[in-house]
Amino acid sequence: MHFIVQTKPFKDETLESYLLRLTRDNAYADYHELADIIWQSLVECDHELEGAFPLDLKTANLYHASQSSRFRVRAFKLVAQWAALAPLELIRLSWLRSNTQFGHLTALIRDQLLIPRMLLRENYVPICSECLKEESYFPYYWHLKPYKACHKHKVQLQSHCAECGELIDYRASEQFSQCSCGAKLKTMAPASEADIAVSEGLSGADAHHWVGKLAWFAYQYGHDQEHASFNEAFISYFKHWPDNFFAELDEKVFRAREKQLRPFNHTKFDSVFGDVIKVGKVAAPNVLRSNFVVDSLLSYFSDLVEKNPKQKHPNIADLLLNSLDFATLLGTTLEQVFRLYQEGQLTCCERLNKNERLQPDRCVFYLRQVVELAQSQGRYVGDFKNQLITPW
């Protein structure tokens, strides 16, 4: 089998958009007809591929295939061959599930751009009619929740049909600049500076920095990324970074001192600072050592330790951290923290039995220790800030 018209994908095109253009260029009635024909041809080539090609465009993307993704990959390679594309071209256009996470958030990857899955729009995909007029295809960044304005035409993306009021989704309507009700779509409203700035970030070369930052901001402050004022709040927040973040932490320290019930060397870190370290991990993929929120936290706590030296009476720098948070601040793994403990480099506030396993969420290490250890490793001091810690 091969396609008579061999449609070429655009570099930033989505898989669904490409499949739709392949349907249209080869004069099939709709995506379902194309999928049916592909399905039959696949079974003729390889009986294992029965059912491997998606019949519904909305769930065509590879990240939707959980158990059968291996077969879908094989099917996509064959379809690429029939369309005279490089074998992995359709897989490159897809969002794939990644083993990496942003903190506890699952991630997807498309052509080297890793994003927290929470950033992807599920139910609709807004459009810029000016872009569609120039080239009839859908770029992947229109699928990202904070991408609300076209960075080329400086207009708001259109998310609702002006006639019927329904949300727009080309994967359901199979139309390019038309709603499923038949109305023509036209983007007119000028975009705000904040929306344009975020869109430029998300479509640019630094997109990998933006995605973590946006996810962290939404998560840390409970903001809805789809809310109209989200980008405005995001941009104005980071104008004052990190002073505003540090002021919030100062406030927590102030309240902890006011309401202190027991000595700080018996107080858990999270009872004062909450899950700020855990949430901070959302700002960058777990595989990276550098994470601007975690780096800022370490800088803040280093300062706190400087201001609160070890004394006879325990102070705020003697709070108790769990191993997970400890590993995050140190930019290392849980295993390394256990090893440091076993080697006697870390003092534990409780005596553990000989064979007792240290639970990751048990608060047993002093905040002061992590700062001193980080400084002794040269992670935080001066030019060495981004230097990797050598594995022990």
Max intra-chain CA distance, the chain: 82
Shortest approach of Zn ion to residue 206 CB, angstroms? 20
* Nearest residue (CB) to Zn ion, 136 versus 345: 136
Phi, psi of 334 (to 5 degrees): -60, -40
**Shortest distance, position 164 Cβ to Zn ion, whole Å:** 3
Q: Which of 101, 33, 19, 24 is nearest to 62 (CA)?
A: 19
By the 10 Å C-beta count (0-12 exposed, 13-18 middle, 19+ buried), 272 is classed as buried
Token pair of 330 as six digits: 């140190």
Distance CA 135, CA 118 (A): 28
Q: Are 346 and 330 in contact (CB under 8 A)?
A: no
Bridge-based pairing of strands 320-322 and 105-110 is unpaired
Rank residues 178 and 375 by Cβ distance to Zn ion and give the closer one: 178
Q: Least distance to Zn ion from the beta carbon of 178, Å? A: 8
CB of 185 vs Zn ion, minimal distance in Å: 8
SS3 302: helix
Between 12 and 48, CB nearer to Zn ion: 12
Q: In terms of CB distance, is 159 or 296 closer to Zn ion?
A: 159
Q: Which is nearer to Zn ion, 141 or 326 (CB)?
A: 141
Nearer to Zn ion, 87 or 190 (CB): 190
Closest-CA residue to 158 (of 127, 124, 114) = 127
One-letter amino acid of 28: Y
Which positions lie near Zn ion, rule CB under 5 A?
Answer: 128, 130-131, 150, 152-153, 161, 163-164, 179, 181, 183
